[in-house]
Amino acid sequence: MQGFCGRIGVVTICFEPSIMAAAPDDVALLKAALAAAERRADLAERDRDEAVASRNEAVAHAAYVNAAASSAKALIARLTLEIEKLRRELYGTRSERKARLLDQLEMQLEDAEAALSEDELAAENAAAKTTTVKSFERRRGGRKPFPEHLPRERVVVPGPTACACCGSDRLRKLGEDVTETLEMIPRQWKVIQTVREKFTCRECEKMTQPPAPFYPTPRGFLGPSLLAMILFDKFGQHQPLNRQSERYAREGIDLSLSTLADQVGACAFALRPIHDLIAVHVMAADRLHGDDTTVPILAKGKTVTGRVWTYVRDDRPFGGQAPPAALYFASRDRTAEHAERHLTGWTGILQADAYSGYGRLYAAERSPGPLAQALCWSHARRKFFELADIAKSARRGKNAAPISPMALEAVKRIDVLFDIERAINGLSADERLAVRQEKSLPILTEFETWMRTERARLSRHAPVAKAMDYMLTKWDSFACFTTDGRVCLTNNAAERALRGLALGRRSWTFAGSERGADRCAFMLTLIMTAKLNDIDPQAWLADVLARIAETPQTQLGELLPWNWSAESMPRQAAA
């Protein structure tokens, strides 16, 4: 006799043939068999639930571990970045790689935070499927409040109309919880219609109409804020006009490349008086930082290696009250005539590298007088540092050149001078000179003696000998900071002024012409001067373009960055 299987709900129950034979006569046996089958089904279902729970617990535990590891990595990246920033604020740049190191640390922190967010959400989803593993709780620092000047929009979630417990509608508000979320409104475009009404006189029939307002450009169909954005994006953010035109087209605004270029030229003409005032201010300095960098310039189907020169006035290191400013020039090559033309009629201290093109500026027969040469210790230190860079040699492995003990010793001695300079930065020239005479001069004298002694033992072909010769042949120009408190130890002010250009030229590849390079130098003068004075260049340019046409010549100084404040912006420029 065959058995019988039946399904009760989701449980399958099978009866043996002997039980089936006794079914008509023994109901008790049937019930006992049914109970035993239900117990076996319960045990099997519980085993399956335990297996699923165990698997979910393993998954949740793994997700928790991943989230915890990601949290640790993000914490390490954040603390490392903060430590390096604090070190830079306290002691300045300690090596040639610090600037790039900060950028790398910021990118690592960005990746670590993104990975932590993904793992945190995965851990929460996995923990929701089990009751034995708790969800990962991320330790978050206190969030900074959003700026007060931002407008607030209240979105009220509708409250209940009846009590969820008893159903009564007698509810009374006790308070509210507010959660703020930062949101961005896409850029909005608008057309401003300037209406000039006409009137006629009933007595003499003469027509009267108010004069047209001043516009930033002769064909004033673009407002000052839009013009400032175009200029800053091109010369401050290094976005070529063709890319700007494409972006505007995607937003529904047709501004062709030729139209944008026409407006850039018109703005450069309108801003010429401000540029000239900045140039006069820079050339009135007693000390200038000078440097240059390469800029490819298109010429007859090819590019030539042009140059952009900068001269930075920054008296803040020795407590000077004159506002900082930067002046840029462009040239087709790097011949000495360009530097001589830029500094015609100027006398003072020129802090620069050992470029031979400056040589005639230091000549005694120069009119109106020779410049005082102050060389950069950062350039000198770099030559030694490249021979003593342990990390770089480790990356090269077997192909690395051996570390030079002399170069390492020179770097250590130079770093002592830098430590003294960081402590006196911002003091008056006399105070700086007094400290240098007391602390720096003995170290400098000992360093010179050590270098001359070691140099006499080296071959002229030794790499470290070349680094020593670079300093010893112009030792007076390197040591002049111990006789004049205005002199800085480095030329980093000029190098910082050229850093944005060195990065931006990767975006626009080359200047379209010599006039284009000149226009780039022109706008960089305005933008960098605004940055040096902690002014938003785009907001400042918008205000200047809105006001310069109706500002008298005698009052143009009010528009210079160091005399300007955002509170003085007219309403239309601020909009």
Residue 402 has pLDDT above 70, yes or no: no
The reported pLDDT for the residue numbered 116 is 58
The reported pLDDT for the residue numbered 164 is 87
**Identity of the highest mean pLDDT range in 135-139, 171-175, 177-181, 309-313:** 309-313
- How is 379-445 classified by DSSP, letter by letter? HHHHHHHTTS-HHHHHHHGGGPPPPPHHHHHHHHHHHHHHHHHHHHTTS-HHHHHHHIIIIIHHHHH
pLDDT > 70 fraction of the chain, expressed in percent and rounded: 75
Whole-prediction pTM: 0.73
Q: Is-contact 455 465, C-beta < 8 A?
A: yes
Q: What is the mean pLDDT of the chain?
A: 82
User: Sign of torsion, CA 411 416 417 423?
Assistant: positive
Q: What is the mean predicted confidence (pLDDT) over 215-238?
A: 88
Q: Strands 349-352, 287-299: parallel, antiparallel or unpaired by DSSP?
A: parallel
**Confidence band of 172 (pLDDT split at 50, 70, 90):** confident
**Confidence band of 2 (pLDDT split at 50, 70, 90):** very low
Per-residue pLDDT of 97-143, as tens digits, reads: 555 555 565 555 556 656 656 666 666 666 776 756 566 555 555 56
Q: Which residue would you say has higher pLDDT here, 519 or 94?
A: 519
How far apart, in whole angstroms, are the C-alpha atoms of residue 528 and residue 325?
Answer: 7
Q: Which residue would you say has higher pLDDT here, 174 or 526?
A: 526
Residue 72 has pLDDT above 60, yes or no: yes
The reported pLDDT for the residue numbered 182 is 85
The reported pLDDT for the residue numbered 169 is 87
Residue 293 phi, psi dihedral angles, 5° rounding: -145, 160
CA-closest candidate to residue 216, choices 177, 252, 269, 258: 269
CA 391, 450, 402 angle in degrees (round to 5)?
25
Least confident span in 28-32, 222-226, 491-495, 530-534: 28-32
**Confidence band of 574 (pLDDT split at 50, 70, 90):** very low
Q: Is-contact 507 238, C-beta < 8 A?
A: yes
Q: How far is CA 249 from the centre of its chain?
A: 27
Q: What is the mean predicted confidence (pLDDT) over 530-537?
A: 95
